[in-house]
């Protein structure tokens, strides 16, 4: 056991503490307004170089009353996150849109320019101050991490990004954080930076619900039509059973681990049980393409190659769709802190201890596959109600118990344990913990991969 940490509530991550502080301070905006949607759309499409979509977003933004200078400002800011090439292509796209609109007789408002900076303090100090405003934390000189190893990047970040760029008042800090969160959501492999900017965004008044909307907007734009494909197969009768095993594994894995795979439904004909039709519904072309690249699909493809006598793929066009939605019960919430969780875990406070005379706290916790808590104890115990997926509960020295939707766990006080998702499944539970002297959890060491893999999943 390396470190023990006592915190006020088990379920409130740093992100959420700030979020709740913010909630008390102002009304909760659950939705992005039109202007904010456009800021997110422009930033995300610039970041990934999707210039056709960017063109549409810029047109919409201008129609919604954004000024040319505001849009230009987003495109300039983007170079700090995705480089000059993307930023310059974005600016060229803006110029092309303005020309087209001018030709159509539309007059767009240029808007005001940035106020010249008159502050006399050094740039580094100015950038540091901006960063402190955004993080609500004093910035000490870096002693560890990338900024200490490379002092030049620390200077560039503070002097350039946070003094030069964020110092320009054409956009508010909130606008700039919206743009940044959208861009980082669109880019791959920048999760730590996205997390940091979510926290900063929340400090500027962006709500968690709005961040969720940005994610939905960027990942699954509304104008994207699902891609539906039919696969018609004839299976070698001698291999039928093996084929079904492989197909089941492939379909179950795909819908479980790929957010872009909406539905896979395989049926066989009663009269001809070797004749299969698989209806495949993907969030879009990208989701389909990435599905083809997954290891589970490739494995299915190669392992069933000999079993499939013929395969016909039918492209389809949408006509009518009627569907029931199957959404999670509670909101996913904000990302849980790496200080207490391993992997990707989301925390949604449901009842704040303050509301209950500090007697107990309730929250919903969503663990992505492999996500789990660190080892911990509760001074007065905890109840878990599993609402979705498959996961584990384990007490120190005992065999892990598998949990599925509907499982209930009553955890005694002071018993060291962890809970979390199975390797291959999302897992959601509501956690109710009693408070004792303002605390409801004592955090301990992480559940190591060795410990986690040892539970015989």
The Cα 71–Cα 49 span in angstroms is 16
Least Å distance, CB 350 to Mn ion, is 16
Residue 111 Cα distances to 69, 94, 107, 209, 237, angstroms: 6, 15, 12, 30, 70
The Cα 363–Cα 429 span in angstroms is 8
The Cα 202–Cα 14 span in angstroms is 11
Q: Which stretch binds Mn ion (CB under 5 A): 20-28, 68-76, 264-272, 378-386?
A: 378-386
Q: Which stretch binds Mn ion (CB under 5 A): 40-48, 158-166, 293-301, 376-384?
A: 376-384
Least Å distance, CB 362 to Mn ion, is 13
Residue 227 or 411 with smaller CB distance to Mn ion = 411
Residue 87 or 382 with smaller CB distance to Mn ion = 382
Least Å distance, CB 376 to Mn ion, is 6
Residue 207 or 382 with smaller CB distance to Mn ion = 382
Least Å distance, CB 337 to Mn ion, is 15
Question: Residue 109: which of 146, 82, 69 has the closest Cα?
Answer: 69
Residue 335 or 417 with smaller CB distance to Mn ion = 417
Least Å distance, CB 390 to Mn ion, is 18
Tell me: does residue 377 bind Mn ion (CB under 5 A).
no
Least Å distance, CB 411 to Mn ion, is 6
Contact set for Mn ion, span 107-146 (CB under 5 A): none
Least Å distance, CB 419 to Mn ion, is 6
- The 394-423 contact track toward Mn ion, x by CB under 5 A, reads ------------------------------
* DSSP calls for 6-53: EES-SS--HHHHHHHHHHHHS----S--HHHHHHHHHHHHHHHT-HHH
Residue 86 or 429 with smaller CB distance to Mn ion = 429
Q: Which residues contact 269 (CB under 8 A, 6 or more apart)?
A: 275, 276, 277
Residue 447 · residue 375 · CB < 8 Å: yes
The Cα 301–Cα 175 span in angstroms is 46
Number of residues that bind Mn ion (CB under 5 A): 1
Residue 90 or 333 with smaller CB distance to Mn ion = 333
Q: Which stretch binds Mn ion (CB under 5 A): 161-169, 190-198, 272-280, 374-382?
A: 374-382
Question: Residue 175: which of 56, 96, 76 has the closest Cα?
Answer: 76
Least Å distance, CB 384 to Mn ion, is 7
Residue 176 or 417 with smaller CB distance to Mn ion = 417
Residue 36 or 382 with smaller CB distance to Mn ion = 382
What's the angle, vertex CA 202, arms to CA 50 and CA 155, rounded to 5? Answer: 75
**What length does the chain have?**
457
Nearest residue by C-beta to Mn ion? Answer: 382
Q: How many CB atoms lie within 10 A of CB 187?
A: 18
By CB under 5 A, name the one of 382, 387, 425, 439 that touches Mn ion. Answer: 382
Residue 442 · residue 6 · CB < 8 Å: yes
Residue 326 · residue 389 · CB < 8 Å: no
Residue 364 or 382 with smaller CB distance to Mn ion = 382
Q: Which stretch binds Mn ion (CB under 5 A): 192-200, 217-225, 375-383, 390-398?
A: 375-383
Residue 4 or 302 with smaller CB distance to Mn ion = 4
Least Å distance, CB 378 to Mn ion, is 6
Least Å distance, CB 457 to Mn ion, is 20
Classified as helix, coil or strand, 408 is strand
Long-range CB contacts for residues 193-202, cutoff 8 Å, separation at least 24 = 195/15, 195/335, 196/135, 198/15, 198/334, 198/335, 199/14, 199/15, 199/18, 199/135, 200/134, 200/135, 201/174, 201/177, 202/15, 202/18, 202/19, 202/22, 202/334
Q: Which stretch binds Mn ion (CB under 5 A): 269-277, 314-322, 334-342, 381-389?
A: 381-389
Q: How many CB atoms lie within 10 A of CB 5?
A: 12
> Which residues sit at the interface with Mn ion, rule CB under 5 A?
382
């Amino acid at each position: 056991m390396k470190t023990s940490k006592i915190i006020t509530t088990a379920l409130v991550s740093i992100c959420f503490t700030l979020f709740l502080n913010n909630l008390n301070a102002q009304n909760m905006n659950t939705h992005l307004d039109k202007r904010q949607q456009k800021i997110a759309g422009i930033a995300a499409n610039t970041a990934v170089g999707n210039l056709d979509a960017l063109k549409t977003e810029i047109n919409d933004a201008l129609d919604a009353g954004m000024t040319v200078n505001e849009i230009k400002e987003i495109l300039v800011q983007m170079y700090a996150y995705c480089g000059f090439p993307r930023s310059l292509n974005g600016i060229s796209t803006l110029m092309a849109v303005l020309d087209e609109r001018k030709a159509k007789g539309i007059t767009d408002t240029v808007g005001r320019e940035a106020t010249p900076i008159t502050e006399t303090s050094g740039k580094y100090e100015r950038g540091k101050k901006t960063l402190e405003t955004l993080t609500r934390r004093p910035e000490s000189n870096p002693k560890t991490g990338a900024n200490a190893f490379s002092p030049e990047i620390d200077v560039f970040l503070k002097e350039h990004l946070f003094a030069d760029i964020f110092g320009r008042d054409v956009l508010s800090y909130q606008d700039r954080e919206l743009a940044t969160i959208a861009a980082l959501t669109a880019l791959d492999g920048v999760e730590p930076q996205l997390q940091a900017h979510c926290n900063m965004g929340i400090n500027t008044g962006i709500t968690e619900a709005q961040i969720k909307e940005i994610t939905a907007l960027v990942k699954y734009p509304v104008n994207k039509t699902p891609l539906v494909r039919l696969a018609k197969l004839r299976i070698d009768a001698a291999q039928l059973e093996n084929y079904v095993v492989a197909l089941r594994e492939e379909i179950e894995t795909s819908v479980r681990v790929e957010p872009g795979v909406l539905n896979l439904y395989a049926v066989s004909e009663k009269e001809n049980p070797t004749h299969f039709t698989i209806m495949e519904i993907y969030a879009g072309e990208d989701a389909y393409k990435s599905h083809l690249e997954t290891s589970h699909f490739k494995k299915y493809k190669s392992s069933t190659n000999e079993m499939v006598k013929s395969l016909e793929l039918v492209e389809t066009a949408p006509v009518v769709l009627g569907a029931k939605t199957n959404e999670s019960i509670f909101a996913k919430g904000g990302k849980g802190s790496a200080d207490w969780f391993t992997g990707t875990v989301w925390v949604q406070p449901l009842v704040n201890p303050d509301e209950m005379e500090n007697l107990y706290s309730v929250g919903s916790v969503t663990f992505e596959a492999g996500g789990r808590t660190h080892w911990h104890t509760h001074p007065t115990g905890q109840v878990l109600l599993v609402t979705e997926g498959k996961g584990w509960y384990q007490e120190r020295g005992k065999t892990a118990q598998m949990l599925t939707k509907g499982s209930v766990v009553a955890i005694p006080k002071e018993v060291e344990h962890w809970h979390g998702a199975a390797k291959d499944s999302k897992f959601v539970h509501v956690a109710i913990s009693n408070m004792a002297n303002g605390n409801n959890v004592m955090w301990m060491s992480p559940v190591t991969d060795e410990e986690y893999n040892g539970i015989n999943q």
